[in-house]
Chain A
Amino acid sequence: DQQVKQNSPSLSVQEGRISILNCDYTNSMFDYFLWYKKYPAEGPTFLISISSIKDKNEDGRFTVFLNKSAKHLSLHIVPSQPGDSAVYFCAAQGTYKYIFGTGTRLKVLA
């Protein structure tokens, strides 16, 4: 039972353009969502989060949007840079645990 889904395993974007990564969830009780970035053989690095009382949160080039009615969140990266190439995981905070999606591999082309 995959409660958090990232349906796009990979995404390629030209440098300078917008990257949009998507995530869907099934449990309407989730009230806190996070995005992590991961390089090979390293631990995930926290990027940005959003609580369910908001529909948007910005931090520099990164913006997360939450659509509670659709149970959908997205991460926008503008402008995309080659250093953004990594695997991105969305996560939802459950009861004493975090549920992660399977990740989207972003490749930013120079």
Chain B
Amino acid sequence: KAGVTQTPRYLIKTRGQQVTLSCSPISGHRSVSWYQQTPGQGLQFLFEYFSETQRNKGNFPGRFSGRQFSNSRSEMNVSTLELGDSALYLCASSTSTGLETQYFGPGTRLLVL
């Protein structure tokens, strides 16, 4: 079974631009979560989607948004990029059937100049 895939793997943007990241979950997984990792900050939860509905959201500004499609694929969008948005963005999927394990993709490395 294929793992979680994320595209693109690397991105360079300038301040003020917007960016869209994509995540394809493991087949059969209906829950997709997004995290931001910056040095020394661990993994900060952005949001979680299940059946095209956002069920939970972390403490990030409204510039960060996401959506999920009927095939469970998810996208994350960041508008008006700031230098501090430079990070590794990770997507994880799970079956969301109870006590369960999230499986992560390789991440998208975003650099904002």
Which residues of A are at the interface with B, using a C-beta cutoff of 8 A?
31-32, 34, 36, 41-46, 49, 51, 89, 91, 93, 95-103
Q: Which of B6, B33, B42, B107 has the most CB of A within 10 A?
A: B42
Give the A-binding residues of B (Cβ under 8 A): 4, 6, 31, 33, 35, 40-43, 45, 48, 50, 55-56, 58, 88, 90, 92, 99-107, 109
Complex: A66 Cα to B102 Cα, angstroms: 20
Minimum distance in angstroms from A36 CB to a CB of chain B = 8
Contact B107 A97 (CB under 8 A): no
Most buried by A among B35, B45, B101, B107: B101
In the complex, the answer to whether A46 meets B103 with C-beta atoms within 8 Å is: yes
A51 nearest in chain B by CB position: B99
Q: Whole-angstrom distance between the alpha carbons of A34 and B94 in the complex? A: 13
Contact A42 B42 (CB under 8 A): no
A96 touches B101 (CB 8 A): no
Task: Report how far A34 CA is from B100 CA in the complex, Å.
Answer: 9
> Which of B31, B45, B100, B107 contacts A42, CB < 8 Å?
B107
Q: What are 22 A-B pairs at a CB distance below 8 A?
A: A32-B99, A32-B100, A41-B88, A42-B107, A43-B90, A43-B107, A46-B101, A93-B99, A96-B31, A96-B48, A96-B55, A97-B33, A97-B45, A97-B48, A97-B56, A97-B58, A98-B33, A98-B92, A99-B45, A100-B42, A101-B42, A102-B40
Q: Give chain A nearest CB distance to B91 CB in angstroms.
A: 8
One of A42, A98, A103 near B102 (C-beta < 8 A): A98
Alpha-carbon distance between A63 and B104 when the two chains are bound, in angstroms: 21
Distance A89 CA – B42 CA, assembled complex (angstroms)? 8
List the B residue with the shortest CB-CB distance to A94. B56
Chain B residues whose C-beta falls within 8 Å of the C-beta of A98 in the assembled complex: 33, 45, 92, 102
| Contact status B99-A31, CB under 8 Å | yes
Bound form: Cα–Cα A22–B33 in Å: 25
